[in-house]
């Protein structure tokens, strides 16, 4: 995906931003493998969420971006 992104001109990138928000920011983020391992322990793939007690958390793309940028 990053290679495809790098080939696009500014007009196509702006259209992508308009349709999908901040998703491209995830291309440049270095993932902390320990954080990723910790998060996967709580991920429920059947429901695509993080269940904590009786609350199911479903992060948005913006929340993923904020979490990975910290």
> What does the pLDDT profile of the chain (70 residues) look like in tens digits?
888 989 999 999 999 988 888 888 777 778 888 988 988 888 888 888 888 888 888 877 777 777 777 5
Beta strands in the chain (DSSP E): 50-52, 55-57
Cα pseudo-dihedral 59, 3, 38, 50, rounded to 10: 20
3-state helix, strand and coil shares in percent for the chain, rounded to the nearest 5? 60, 10, 30
Residue numbers of the domain that contains 14: 2-69
- Maximum pairwise Cα distance, the chain: 46
pTM (predicted TM-score):
0.44
- Beta-carbon neighbour count of residue 24 at 10 Å? 16
Q: Could you give the number of structural domains in the chain?
A: 1
């Amino acid at each position: 995906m990053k290679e495809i992104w790098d080939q696009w001109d500014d007009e196509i990138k702006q259209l992508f931003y308009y349709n999908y928000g901040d998703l491209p920011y995830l291309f440049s983020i270095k993932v902390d493998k320990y954080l990723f391992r910790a998060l996967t322990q709580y991920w429920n793939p059947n429901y695509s969420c993080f269940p904590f007690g009786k609350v199911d958390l479903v992060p948005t793309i913006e929340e993923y971006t904020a979490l990975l940028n910290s």
